[in-house]
Amino acid sequence: MATNHAGYTGTGFVDFVNTAGGHIEWSVNVAEAGTHTLTFRYANGTASTRPMDIAVNGVTVAAEVAFPGTGAWSTCVDGRVTTTLAAGVNTVRATGTRASGGPNLDRLSVSGPAGPDGQAPSIPANPRVSGTSATSISLTWQESTDNVGVSGYRIYEGGTVVATSPTAAATIGGLATGSSHTYTVSAYDAAGNESARSAPVTGRADTGQGGPTAAQLLAKVNTCDQISSGSYKTDTDVSQATVQVCGKPTAVHWTADMDIDCDGVRTPQCNEDTDCCFQPQTFCTASTGGYLNSAALPYMVVPSPSSTWDYRTRGIGCGSVVAIVYNGQVEYTVMGDTGPATIIGEASYAAAANLGINPDPRVGGTDGPVTYIAFTGAGTKVQRIEDHDQAITLGRQLAQRLVDTG
């Protein structure tokens, strides 16, 4: 894969070797058998044509197809071949036939009997960090669907593609130890259609050591020394209040569900269209001013002070570190918002996504069990509420203190 010329649409292009016989092969999945058009997007910065043989399923269907010069190696145009494809997966091979090799190939698109495939795959859902090492972050997500077939996935950091994968998993390597990275994922098909990007997911390149396991934390909070004057509901439509806030010398904890808090900065994930109850502010604010970004910052929500319980009596406030334990995972977050005085169990879009919980405020969240452990006492708040790296580092230390001393 080469990237030394501009104009390509994916992560790079194929630069044929300057010899006859060099080739590239694709697997193409089509819904209907019949006549299809293969569109090769290519660049040829020379004045000479660079012909190729096009084979389908091992049989040459078009010999010496001309791919003339395009004026520059950064200028791409389309070359087309019409052929018959079988329903399902077909192999398409393009082979350079001259000593100069083939042109630079950017992508192959396929259109069928009903016309070009203009439908993009569905957006990859629920991306999450599945593992880390000192120099890598591994991701998984739910497979996308497509009217013809998904060809693969692109993993973005910001606007840059950092990896591609044919399956719903990828590992991004070569990272600096201790560095945090936020990724989104898109799906694409053989026709070149690409989905919108997924919810962001943030990971940290490290060994995962230095903090207790989910099982160790749950073992320390498996009994309740109730400190709330009553109980909370998990949702407004729940008939009974069943969740108590419990106390430890160095933490408070409760086990509930997780609803999605999408308030704060407007993003494609969190706005009036995606969340019926969207509010453009959060109780806590960023160190630079402005409200928190639910789609980017893992934070949790505490009930507003009431006669049932007032979080402030335990020194909890904006930036207090809170461990969320779900499905064998621990996500270190901060207190970032307050919610209804009678409801408990809520966290940001990013916190849910990092735990593999559907973060869509319309249909996402989980009934749990989700355990929230808010650390109390001196030194339990991050210096900058948006500094997730510090929340992780401090959270591991505080969690270890809880396991060691209670």
Q: What is the pLDDT of residues 25-68, one digit of tens each?
A: 998 888 778 888 888 989 999 988 999 999 999 999 999 999 98
* Residue 338 domain boundaries: 214-405
Q: Are residues 240 and 141 in the same domain?
A: no
CA distance 27 to 7: 24
- Whether residue 209 is predicted with pLDDT greater than 70 in this model: the reply is no
Percent of the chain with pLDDT over 70: 97
- Whether residue 129 is predicted with pLDDT greater than 90 in this model: the reply is no
Element (H, E) at 350: helix 349-354
Is the peptide bond preceding residue 280 cis, with omega within 30 degrees of 0? no
Q: What is the mean pLDDT of residues 121-143?
A: 85
Q: Are residues 186 and 254 in the same domain?
A: no
**Are residues 155 and 197 in contact, defined by beta-carbon separation less than 8 angstroms?**
no
The pLDDT assigned to 313 comes to 96
CA distance 171 to 70: 36
The pLDDT assigned to 78 comes to 85
Take residue 372 and report the two structure tokens written for it: 């929230």
Q: Are residues 237 and 192 in the same domain?
A: no
Band (307; pLDDT cuts 50, 70, 90): very high
The pLDDT assigned to 114 comes to 46
Q: Are residues 226 and 364 in the same domain?
A: yes
Q: What is the mean pLDDT of residues 67-87?
A: 88
- Whether 163 maps to a domain, the answer reads yes
Q: Are residues 241 and 385 in the same domain?
A: yes
The pLDDT assigned to 58 comes to 94
Q: What is the mean pLDDT of the chain?
A: 90
Measured between its terminal Cα atoms, the distance across the chain in Å is 54
**Are residues 159 and 200 in contact, defined by beta-carbon separation less than 8 angstroms?**
no
Q: Which of 83-87, 171-175, 187-191, 245-249 has the highest mean pLDDT?
A: 245-249
Q: Which of 22-31, 91-100, 245-254 has the highest mean pLDDT?
A: 245-254
Q: List residues bridging with 69 in a β-sheet.
A: none
Q: Is the pLDDT higher at 151 or at 131?
A: 151
The pLDDT assigned to 219 comes to 95
Q: Is the pLDDT higher at 62 or at 78?
A: 62
CA distance 335 to 349: 14
- Whether residue 155 is predicted with pLDDT greater than 90 in this model: the reply is yes
Q: Is the pLDDT higher at 361 or at 178?
A: 361
Band (116; pLDDT cuts 50, 70, 90): low
Exposure on the CB side of residue 162, measured as CA atoms within 13 A: 20
- Whether residue 406 is predicted with pLDDT greater than 80 in this model: the reply is no
Strands 23-30 and 88-96: antiparallel
Q: What is the pLDDT of residues 370-393, one digit of tens each?
A: 999 999 999 999 999 999 888 988
Q: Are residues 145 and 272 in the same domain?
A: no
Boundary (domain end) residue, out of 116, 151, 180: 116
Tracing tokens 């001013």 back to the chain, one arrives at: 289
Angle at 206 between CA 205 and CA 208, to 5 degrees: 125
Percent of the chain with pLDDT over 90: 52
- Whether 2 maps to a domain, the answer reads no
**Are residues 183 and 157 in contact, defined by beta-carbon separation less than 8 angstroms?**
yes
Handedness of CA 246, 367, 328, 392 (dihedral sign): negative
Q: Are residues 383 and 284 in the same domain?
A: yes
- Whether 48 maps to a domain, the answer reads yes
- Whether 209 maps to a domain, the answer reads no
- Whether residue 113 is predicted with pLDDT greater than 60 in this model: the reply is no
Lowest mean pLDDT among 8-12, 123-127, 151-155, 347-351: 8-12
The pLDDT assigned to 210 comes to 60
- Whether residue 111 is predicted with pLDDT greater than 80 in this model: the reply is no
Q: Are residues 303 and 160 in the same domain?
A: no
Considering the entire predicted model, what is its pTM? 0.61
Q: Are residues 177 and 63 in the same domain?
A: no
- Whether 102 maps to a domain, the answer reads yes
- Whether 5 maps to a domain, the answer reads no
Closest by alpha carbon to 317, among 305, 307, 308, 306?
305
Q: What is the pLDDT of residues 349-359, one digit of tens each?
A: 999 988 888 89
CA distance 298 to 203: 11
The pLDDT assigned to 117 comes to 63
- Whether residue 298 is predicted with pLDDT greater than 50 in this model: the reply is yes
Boundary (domain end) residue, out of 179, 204, 229: 204
Q: What is the mean pLDDT of residues 265-284?
A: 93
CATH number at residue 74: 2.60.120.260
Domain count, the chain: 3
Q: Are residues 89 and 220 in the same domain?
A: no
Residue 359: C-alpha distances to residues 99, 126, 203, 266, 366 (Å): 54, 7, 16, 15, 9
